[in-house]
Amino acid sequence: MIRASWRGICWAGVLTVAVAAPAPALGQRRRAIPFSDEAVEKAVEAGCKYLWSLYREQGDPWPDQPTARDNQGNVVPYVNYGGRSALAMYALLAAGEKHTDPRMKRALKWLSRIDCKGTYALGLRNQVWAMLPANLGRDLLKRDAERLVRSVAQPPRRRSSALGNVYSYGTYTYSCDDKPGPGGDHSNTQFGVLGVWAAASHNIQIPKWYWEIVFKHWMITQNTEGGWNYPNGPSAVSKDTMTAAGLASTFVAFDNLYVDQFVTCGVNTQVPTITKALGWFDKNFYRPGNYGRGPAYYYLYAVERVGLASGYKYFGEKDWYKIGATRLINSQRNGSWGGLIDTSFALLFLVRGRNPVAFNRLEYRGDWNNRPRALANLTRWMSRSFEKEVSWQIINLRVPVEEWHDAPVLMITGSKEPDFSDADLAKLREFVHQGGMIFSAAECSKQPNGFDLAMRRYYAKLFPEYELQQLSPDHPIYTAQFRLGRSFRLWGISNGIRLLALHSDTDLPLPWQINSYATNANAFRLAANICLFVNDRGYGRPRGTSPWPKKTPFVPLRVAKVARIKHNGNWNPEPLAWERFRLLMGQKWKTKLVVSEPMTPGRLSVGEYRVAAMTGTAELALTAEEKQSLKSYVQSGGTLIMDAAGGSQAFARSAVKLMDELFGEGSLGRLRQRSPVYRLPGFELDSVGYRRAARAVLGDTKAPRILAVMLDGRPAVLFSREDLTAGLVGYPCSTCVGYSPDSAAELMRNMVLYGIRIDKMLAGQAAE
């Protein structure tokens, strides 16, 4: 047991005491676990299980420290008693554990009744209250925040010869005694500020002078190179932990002081204290010592707050969440990271850093950052409104497009023409074709606005086959969650399945920037509608995840060749659908998929391609020669796969009509459940999943609904009225009547493999 003085233990010290993880058995080496959301989820579940294993039914819910020794060696009450239990509860609630769990209910009741006087304990207790529904936590938040505000070190109200240490104003020591304290250190201070911020984030009024002295403190104590040290004055050496604490606290104070500073466009958005600290982070964020023993977990908790507050996905060129999460999932042992405190901080990094990313924001050459805190305020409002933590993120044009997919929505803002090169436009187009959507908004739009006109020109270059059109008043984006009527004008580009881009010529980010959710509620509601519409009622993806598969080498077990057919019915609404499917076939099912260049039906040859695929969103109108070519291809032994992209009724009706014309009235029939297409050895499909829009039409079915034209006992044409194409790209879609992405890929896999193995399959059936 670590002995503590009556002033309380310095938690930074406690938290840096790490328990060495058990060494692997002699001769064994633990295989590194690569980053994935599944690996993070597993680590979180194990961490929660470990924390619950420490829970006690009597007394303090988690092992706490009720007493300490003062400087004279006397046993006295420990000022931060309750802090360990509060930290464990905070981690568990953040990880999704329910406040209605009987164990948690008892713990919450206990925590609300103890007399917390320690800065660490109060700061953490307020994080717990902030996780509760407003009717349970608001009064407790207000009570503890008021105590923290009263206890901060403050400058004297009247000038005197004894002004005190100016570096101490805005800081905390270990104890909060309901009166201005003497000032303390940066570790205590970050937890005091965090406790007050938790209340402010729930619309509890905090006096402006509080944020002023906090902001000024971090500003005047910042070291020359941009970091901070543990003492409350500037020093020659910056510590990683305290720099993270200082930067996170500065963001908190700034957000509560200067929300209305960026009403006009073109003002300098650089805040020197924040800019210098971010520069320090870019250079020093990741050093091996920060991720081994020592201050790793305490530091990571602060890093997560910096990442979420700043919005940056990268510090320098380093993905802070991926680096930290990878280290944590590989250092966990038996569900823990060395004890209650370290495990709680590790869990908080994993779960808070993993919060769904509702919007990515593009950093580009131009005035992209007129409203620097707009998305921070917007996502904070969304988190409160939906009782679901969501975040935002800044990405740039220097990294691969595959790393942009934390959020399906990429927001581009500005008041002047963006300087996009052809290479930049190619990246934007690729992002959209990989399943993303661009959302652009013209800022300061009441002024002559180059951004609005420029984006319209860029959209014409990005998607020349489609037109930017004003959304109709009954578009589902206006009713996805809130009914907005005609409050806003939006323009969109659709490929017949989904919105590829959304554009606003009004300054939507302005009310977000100034946090005017009371007087401009619909601006916030519209953003929430956009998020929920694009994510099919979801809130975004966990940070660091992407539906786009990585290119990894594999040893193929088979080769499948597929011809893609082009026609005049919007034959290629998702240009990368088959590219993603090709990657999945290789990585998941060890099949080398060779996809032809698009060809007309007249070029089809069974000798070259035993399978042909055809999709579209508009009505088919083939020539007589093209129809005959399709019929000859199928009759010669080829397999034709067709689907109505997005569930298009126009395409589906014309496809049925075409089959009736080529193979006779009513030639399309439901493929029986025991068809060899569904029963391929090793690839049996007993049930499938449907998107929400399809379930609304079809009911709660789990059976596949593929139709077939049977020729000589084989399904020669396989047709799906329900979408497969959008599913192959893998994005969420609130209007797609079709199969879930996983089921779409599995169905297409089976149909393709059946087509290339048709002779072998028929021979096997004949032998039976």
User: Residues 508-526, buried b or exposed e (16+ Cβ, 10 A)?
Assistant: bbbbbbbbbbeeeebbbbb
Instruction: Find, among 162, 90, 169, the residue nearest to 132 by Cα.
Output: 90
Residues forming beta bridges with residue 336, ordered by sequence position: 333
Residues forming beta bridges with residue 670, ordered by sequence position: 707
SS (H, E, C) 585-652: HHHHHCEEEEECCCECHHHCCCCCCCEEEEEECCCCCCCHHHHHHHHHHHHCCCEEEEEEHHHCHHHH
Is residue 701 within 8 A of residue 670, CB to CB? The reply is: no
E-assigned strands of 484-622?
491-494, 499-504, 541-542, 558-564, 591-595, 611-616
Q: Is 212 left (phi over 0), alpha (psi -120 to 50) or beta?
A: alpha
The pLDDT value given to residue 698: 96
Is residue 94 within 8 A of residue 347, CB to CB? The reply is: yes
To which H or E segment does residue 470 belong? Answer: strand 469-470
The angle subtended at Cα 450 by Cα 447 and Cα 456, nearest 5°, is: 125
Distance CA(436)–CA(541), nearest Å, equals: 12
Which part of the chain has CATH 1.50.10.20? 11-20+38-156+166-260+272-354
CA distances from 34 to 131, 326, 329, 332, 495 (A): 31, 7, 9, 14, 36
The pLDDT value given to residue 760: 59
Residues forming beta bridges with residue 535, ordered by sequence position: none
The pLDDT value given to residue 233: 75
Q: Write the DSSP symbol of residue 294.
A: S
Q: Looking at domain 358-542, does it have CATH number 3.30.565.10?
A: no
Count of Cβ atoms closer than 10 Å to residue 10 Cβ: 18
Distance CA(352)–CA(391), nearest Å, equals: 9
Given 3-state DSSP classes, what are the helix, strand and coil percentages for the chain, each rounded to the nearest 5? 45, 15, 45
Task: Extract the tokens encoding 241.
Answer: 């932990």
Distance CA(26)–CA(19), nearest Å, equals: 20
Instruction: Find, among 287, 341, 281, the residue nearest to 307 by Cα.
Output: 281
82, amino acid identity: G
Q: Are strands 714-720 and 707-711 parallel, antiparallel or unpaired?
A: antiparallel
Q: Are strands 499-504 and 491-494 parallel, antiparallel or unpaired?
A: antiparallel
| Long-range contacts (CB closer than 8 Å, 24 or more residues apart) made by 653-662 | 653/619, 654/569, 654/619, 654/620, 654/621, 655/620, 655/719, 656/719, 658/620, 658/622, 658/627, 658/630, 659/709, 659/717, 659/719, 661/627, 662/627, 662/630, 662/631, 662/634
Give me the helices (H) in 258-366, please.
Answer: 272-284, 296-310, 320-331, 340-353
Domain at 558-767, CATH from 3.40.50.1970, 2.70.70.10, 3.40.50.12140, 1.10.530.10: 3.40.50.12140
Which part of the chain has CATH 3.40.50.12140? 358-542, 558-767
The pLDDT value given to residue 758: 61
Distance CA(688)–CA(704), nearest Å, equals: 6
CA distances from 308 to 210, 262, 323, 379 (A): 23, 20, 15, 11
Distance CA(368)–CA(416), nearest Å, equals: 9
Instruction: Tell me which residue has tokens 């009556």.
Output: 6
Contacts of residue 160, defined as CB under 8 A and 6 or more positions apart, other chains included, come to none
pLDDT along the chain (768 residues), means of 10: 31 34 46 94 98 96 89 86 97 97 98 95 97 93 97 74 71 94 92 96 94 96 93 82 94 90 86 94 75 66 93 92 95 95 97 96 95 95 92 95 95 96 98 98 83 97 97 95 88 98 96 93 97 95 92 94 96 98 97 97 95 97 96 97 98 97 96 95 95 96 97 96 98 97 98 83 43
- Residue 54, SS3 per DSSP: coil
Q: What is the distance between the terminal CA atoms of the chain, rounded to a whole angstrom?
A: 74
CA dihedral 302, 214, 284, 395 (to 10 degrees): 70
Distance CA(535)–CA(196), nearest Å, equals: 33
Is residue 64 within 8 A of residue 82, CB to CB? The reply is: yes
Instruction: Find, among 582, 595, 596, the residue nearest to 554 by Cα.
Output: 582
The pLDDT value given to residue 291: 44
Give phi and psi for 135, each to the nearest 5.
-70, -15
What is the third-level CATH fold of 11-20+38-156+166-260+272-354?
Glycosyltransferase (1.50.10)
Task: Extract the tokens encoding 767.
Answer: 């032998």
The whole model's pTM is what?
A: 0.92
Instruction: Tell me which residue has tokens 């990989």.
Output: 434
353, amino acid identity: G
| Long-range contacts (CB closer than 8 Å, 24 or more residues apart) made by 219-223 | 219/250, 219/273, 220/166, 220/167, 221/167, 221/186, 221/246, 222/246, 222/273, 222/276, 222/277
Q: Are strands 491-494 and 469-470 parallel, antiparallel or unpaired?
A: antiparallel
Count of Cβ atoms closer than 10 Å to residue 13 Cβ: 14
